[in-house]
Amino acid sequence: MELLIPGLILVALMVYASTKIKKNAAKAFETESIETEEFSITKPEGFLHPLNNDSEYAFEAYSKEFGQDHAEQIRQASAEILRLDDTNLDEQRNEISREVTAITAEKADSDKIIFIEAEREEGNIVLDSFFKLVARGNKVYELRISVLPEYKDAYLDRIDEMLDSFKVK
């Protein structure tokens, strides 16, 4: 009996902590507006935006799930924003065309914004990639969203949400 009460208290504390951790983990994958001094973007539901990492990207987010079979080490979808100094839209568009295997669509929204849809390879894995290039002064901000082709339809609405919401200040 002497051990029963402390044991029950310990179990209750463990259940409380576990529930709290699960709620916070689920919250991390909810829709979130990210705003920095340079840009804003909406991270859609199902994507995780890691905080306090030493990434080369101004922003990154990725799906919780990985691919299958040969792509089991690659996330189903990922998004990154790069800030490129001392360049312009044409130079960055040409750089993307060298990196990808095929450009499937391209559209200029203005003389400062270009959308590109392309196929590219990472290792031996084919990815569908969506780019939004935005010029500000002598900088270009590149939003790149990549998705494994077999999951493209499942992520298309969320990809469009990120592309539409990405604004450079």
CB atoms near residue 75 (< 10 Å): 20
Strand-by-strand arrangement of the 39-43 sheet = 32-35, 39-43, 167-168
- 111-127 average pLDDT score: 93
For 25-63, write each residue's pLDDT tens digit: 556 678 899 999 999 999 999 999 887 667 789 999 999
Amino acid at 23: K
Question: Residue 78: left if φ>0, alpha if ψ -120 to 50, beta else—which one?
Answer: beta
Q: What is the pLDDT of residue 110?
A: 82
- 133-137 average pLDDT score: 93
Report d(CA 105, CA 112) in Å as an integer: 17
Cβ–Cβ < 8 Å for 100, 119? yes
Q: What is the pLDDT of residue 123?
A: 85
Report d(CA 101, CA 150) in Å as an integer: 18
Report d(CA 79, CA 159) in Å as an integer: 9
Report d(CA 55, CA 59) in Å as an integer: 8
Q: What is the pLDDT of residue 28?
A: 63
User: In angstroms, how far is CA 29 from the centroid of its own chain?
Assistant: 12
Q: What is the pLDDT of residue 49?
A: 84
For 142-169, write each residue's pLDDT tens digit: 999 999 999 999 999 999 999 999 999 9
Amino acid at 117: E
Of all residues in the chain, the percent with pLDDT exceeding 70 is 83
Residue 77 pLDDT more than 80?
yes
User: 74: which residues sit within 8 A by CB, 6+ positions away?
Assistant: 66, 67, 122, 125, 127, 148
At 119, the pLDDT band (50, 70, 90 cuts) reads very high
Q: Where are the domains of the chain?
A: 1-29, 31-168
Q: Which CATH number does 31-168 carry? A: 3.40.1000.10
Cβ–Cβ < 8 Å for 81, 92? no
At 69, the pLDDT band (50, 70, 90 cuts) reads confident
Tokens of 85: 């100094």
What share of residues in the chain are helix, strand, coil (percent, to 5)?
35, 40, 25
β-pair partners for 79: 61, 145
